[in-house]
Chain A
């Protein structure tokens, strides 16, 4: 396959069956490998669309500064686009994200502002919003509320899935900004009657939920509950267990959010199997395991790995 340059390789990712993890011939799991994107994550789609939208709106000029609250993948994706299109990038990143993410961001030329670990990404969003207010010429793409994020999935991920799996019955993805679920979910609902759109939400250690009060909570502006059929909270223990199963049973070296998604998908598969119903469940592998190696998720006992993840933002 031939492309003009790296940015043209965004999307068009493979859909790969999971024959060993699927419970039976009538209930099949299908993994969409989003690590096969230029910087290795599903965020490449959102970053390409958000930057293109900002350019179209006349917000970005050569040398413009882009600011974004991100604990990694989005920052890395935007860093690539910024690098190739001539913009500067400043990421606000919670302290408790893996070393690989910070290293990658800096390698791509991004600057990092650290936000306190306690309060996780809520705090990063707050810090970023304050910085944006102080620097009105900086452009905050704001993945949590930018419609181009969801639109990327409505226009690319959804159609790819439908083309590869017209018999799809369930779509399962991680819940973060909700862009993947909202965009892909809306598209699939328009084209596949009865399709189930299921969110797998990481459940972190207590530190991440350490807010001063409940009104400091955060719901992404993109989030529209009506697009979802269901939403599951998945513990780090379950996410880790499934991430390891994905590797040992199917040979897929995926990031920990993929384990989270697989856990929810396996729950749906078991339910379909028990009900004697056919199911073709597509799930998103958001990224590969490289950035999580230093978390110790792939070595030692599960209990040791779980303990090491405590306090970290692993998804």
Chain B
């Protein structure tokens, strides 16, 4: 089973510079735990006791997981998870 997880520049120190890594799990929580096994410390940058960290956005197939059940969002083979820092964004 392979789920692609895209890592923002700021967190690539945890993945040895890789911008994309693969993991497995039935839920986002399991996926992050799986990744943490190979990329120690990554999980803690993404999650705190309330769930996904405030200034971190996680998208499952481009949809913000906060609207898909957060850490209990189900993930499947072939899904793409994208992690991005929260930014003020553009043209306002």
Contact = CB atoms under 8 A, between A and B. Distances in A.
Given A43-B92, A233-B82, A218 B87 contact: yes
A72 B64 contact: no
B26 interface: no
A307 to B, nearest CB: 17
A228 interface: yes
Interface of A: 43, 69-74, 97, 101, 120-122, 124-125, 143-144, 175-177, 199, 201-204, 206, 208-220, 225, 228-234, 255, 257, 313-315
B62 A257 contact: no
Interface in B50-92: 53-57, 59, 62-64, 66-67, 82, 84-92
B87 A214 contact: no
Contact of A257 (B8, B9, B90): B90
A209 B85 contact: yes
B9 A97 contact: no
Given A203-B82, A315-B90, 10 more contacts: A120-B89, A176-B90, A211-B87, A214-B56, A217-B56, A219-B86, A225-B66, A233-B63, A313-B89, A315-B89
A218 B86 contact: yes
23 contacts: A70-B92, A72-B92, A97-B90, A121-B87, A125-B88, A176-B90, A199-B64, A203-B82, A204-B87, A209-B10, A213-B10, A214-B85, A218-B86, A218-B87, A231-B64, A231-B67, A232-B62, A234-B62, A257-B91, A313-B90, A313-B91, A314-B90, A315-B90
Contact of B86 (A69, A101, A217): A217
Interface residues of B, number: 26
The 8 closest A-B pairs by CB, nearest first: A217-B55, A121-B88, A313-B90, A231-B64, A217-B86, A315-B90, A176-B92, A233-B59
Contacts of A203: 82, 84
B51 to A, nearest CB: 12
Nearest to A264: B62
Nearest to B58: A233
B45 interface: yes
B41 to A, nearest CB: 13
